[in-house]
Structure 1
Amino acid sequence: MSTIFDMKITVQPEHIDVLGHVNNVVYMSWMQDVATAHIEALGLGLKQYLELKHAMVAVEHHVQYRKAAMESDEIILRTWLNDINALYSYRQYVFYRPKDKAILFAGNTQWACVEIATGRPKRMSPTFTQAYQPLSNTENPMDFSVYDA
């Protein structure tokens, strides 16, 4: 069973665009960063992809920007898997700012399993389906109370 995965970051000057807030493209990069950290924590990361000769690649993103993040903001990047089938896994993201209890961003990605050598779709091996389990219905991914002082 997969779990919620959190990664704490601090907004850096290079994340800020000409409008004075985090650039939209940076949020997409953070989605990739937290997803990669999560799969590594699950024990099925990039090294294992190469060994198994298949990997998960993003095929579709949906994003919603809710509030602006500013330089020096502390942000919790949260992700979890919410569904899986033979070819696809579905990952959710919520980025949270504890200082004002604000949800800054929400998104999801559909990931496809592909054979690395050919880029062609491939059924997920048992190694993948065992590691990439959806979040239990008993866990609330929108509960950030552990970060609220």
Structure 2
Amino acid sequence: MAAFQFPIDIRESDIDHMGHVNNNVYLKWVQDAVVRYWETRAPADAVARHLWVALKHEITYRKPTFLDDIVVADVVAEKVKGARAYFTTVVMRGEDVLAEIKSCWCCLDATSHRPARLARSVVDRFLTR
């Protein structure tokens, strides 16, 4: 399964008092990357009918990230079970792994905001391409 590459824009406001990207910024990056993955891989009608909310993030920080770094997040959807989807996101600077994030997300119906299972045809497109 090929990873979806999401370029990350590092802003001055992302930098903390120690001179590197603050840990809480990684959560925004993961959310932006996973949502963009969904918007890119899923059919347009499925994107319009569904929203995603994060249920859990487990982040392992490997190396600090700095303002001038060129960084990309590689996103892989590992599996979909019911209304939940499991992702692995790896934040990279060249060949260096900066952070690894395992996350679990709940798919919601965009109108009712209740958990929604995706059709098998959507899951198949969503997981592989």
Is the 8 Å Cα contact of residues 8 and 29 (structure 2) preserved in structure 1? no
**14 and 79 in structure 1: CA distance in 2 versus 1, 3 angstrom threshold:** same
1:12 aligns with 11
In 2, the alpha carbon distance for the partners of 1:40 and 1:32 equals 12
The TM-score with structure 2 as length reference comes to: 0.84
In 2, the alpha carbon distance for the partners of 1:68 and 1:44 equals 36
Identity percentage of aligned residues: 25
1:56 aligns with 52
1:10 deviates by: 4.4
Q: CA RMSD in A?
A: 2.2
Aligned runs of 1:77-96 on 2, under 5 Å? 77-96=73-92
In 2, the alpha carbon distance for the partners of 1:56 and 1:10 equals 22
Aligned runs of 1:91-110 on 2, under 5 Å? 91-98=87-94, 101-110=95-104
SS of the equivalent of 1:123 reads: coil
Larger Rg: 1
Of residues 59, 68, 72, the one that matches 1:72 is 68
The aligned amino acid for 1:107 is I
Is the 8 Å Cα contact of residues 83 and 134 (structure 1) preserved in structure 2? no
The TM-score with structure 1 as length reference comes to: 0.74
1:5 deviates by: 0.6
In 2, the alpha carbon distance for the partners of 1:113 and 1:40 equals 13
Is the 8 Å Cα contact of residues 12 and 72 (structure 1) preserved in structure 2? no
The aligned amino acid for 1:28 is L
Pick the structure with more strand per residue: 2
1:30 aligns with 29
- Dislocated runs of 4+, deviation >3 Å: 47-50
Aligned residues: 129
